[in-house]
């Protein structure tokens, strides 16, 4: 059985992705780092769709925790494999660079960029053996355009975009696609501290996007119909930046 692993899958865009994949009939592994209640709620919503769901708790910034969690999962699923990976885990620690602390820089890059590296590297062998795989990386408008006050976040997402393009070329012969999705302002836990009334004036569609809209794009890239799309960065931002 082919599973999808969604990092940071308990809330926001990650939760919407888990539910959308489950609606397509894909068994889902919901990764999270700390919020047990939110993770269980997401799992309940996945299972309510008649699809198998599982929780896998680990910190995407910890290579040791990743190895232990995935080793354990694989030992309990001898006939299954993870064929879809959505690298969604990420954090924001906004600050002007002149005031930015080392931990604000390191924590953001460790979760978004290093987490992508640790998890993707760990799962690539199985995908290459099966000659099938879908990797979708959650980038951002910040990684394309750059955003003041987000030098750390913009750097991590821009690097993720570069990694997406490079890895796509490495693994394409094995029928593995690697794409990135770059949301703009999306209603989620990560943007709840932003001034939506003011910021939506910058968006031609005059609104924030919905997590479900991002999830629909991710689900398409995870499916069979996207088999000839790889190395792409697809923006979903209401026309804010093209």
- Edge to edge, the sheet with strand 133-138 lists 53-57, 28-32, 2-6, 81-87, 133-138, 176-183, 233-236
Extents of the domains making up the chain: 2-236
Tokens, residue 77: 């699923």
Tens of pLDDT, residues 169-207 = 999 999 999 999 999 999 877 677 778 888 889 999 999
pLDDT at 115 over 90: yes
**Active-site hit among 3, 32, 118, 153:** 153
Q: What is the dihedral of CA 117, 191, 221, 51, to 10 degrees?
A: 100
Helix (H) or strand (E) holding 115: helix 115-130
Closest CA relative to residue 186, chosen from 1, 3, 10, 14: 14
Q: What's the pLDDT at 116? A: 98
Q: Could you tell me the fold of the domain covering 2-236?
A: Rossmann fold (3.40.50)
**Would you call 153 a catalytic residue per the annotation?**
yes
Q: What angle do CA 77, 78, 80 make, to 5 degrees?
A: 65
What percent of the chain has a predicted confidence (pLDDT) above 70? 100
Q: What's the pLDDT at 136? A: 98
pTM of the model: 0.95
Average model confidence (pLDDT) for the chain?
96
Q: What's the pLDDT at 198? A: 87
Confidence of residue 70 (pLDDT cuts 50, 70, 90): very high
100-105 mean pLDDT: 98
Tens of pLDDT, residues 133-174 = 999 999 999 999 999 999 999 999 999 999 999 999 999 999
The SS3 of residue 226 is: helix
Q: How far apart are CA 86 and CA 18, in angstroms?
A: 9
Tens of pLDDT, residues 26-68 = 999 999 999 999 999 999 999 999 999 999 999 999 999 999 9
Q: What's the pLDDT at 195? A: 81
Q: What's the pLDDT at 190? A: 67
pLDDT at 234 over 80: yes
Closest CA relative to residue 64, chosen from 122, 129, 133, 141: 122
């Amino acid at each position: 059985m082919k599973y999808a692993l969604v990092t940071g899958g308990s809330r926001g865009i990650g939760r919407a992705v888990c539910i959308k994949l489950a609606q397509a009939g894909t068994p889902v592994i919901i990764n999270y780092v700390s919020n047990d209640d939110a993770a269980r709620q997401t799992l309940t919503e996945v299972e309510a769709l008649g699809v198998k769901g599982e929780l896998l708790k680990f910190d995407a910034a910890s290579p040791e925790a990743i190895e232990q969690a995935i080793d354990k999962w694989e030992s309990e699923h001898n006939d299954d494999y993870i064929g879809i990976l959505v690298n969604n885990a990420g954090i924001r620690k906004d600050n002007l660079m002149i005031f930015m602390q080392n931990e604000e820089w390191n924590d953001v890059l460790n979760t978004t960029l290093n987490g992508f590296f640790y998890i993707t590297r760990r799962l690539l062998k199985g995908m290459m053996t099966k000659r099938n795989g879908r990797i979708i990386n959650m980038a951002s408008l910040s990684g394309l355009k750059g955003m003041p006050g987000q030098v750390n976040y913009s750097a991590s997402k821009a690097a993720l975009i570069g990694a997406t393009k490079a890895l796509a070329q490495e693994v394409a012969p094995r029928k593995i696609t690697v794409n990135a999705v770059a949301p703009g302002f999306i209603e989620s836990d990560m943007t709840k501290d932003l001034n939506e009334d003011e910021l939506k004036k910058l968006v031609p569609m005059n609104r924030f996007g919905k997590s479900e809209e991002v999830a629909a794009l991710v689900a398409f890239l995870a499916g069979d119909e996207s088999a000839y799309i790889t190395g792409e960065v697809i923006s979903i931002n209401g026309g804010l930046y093209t």
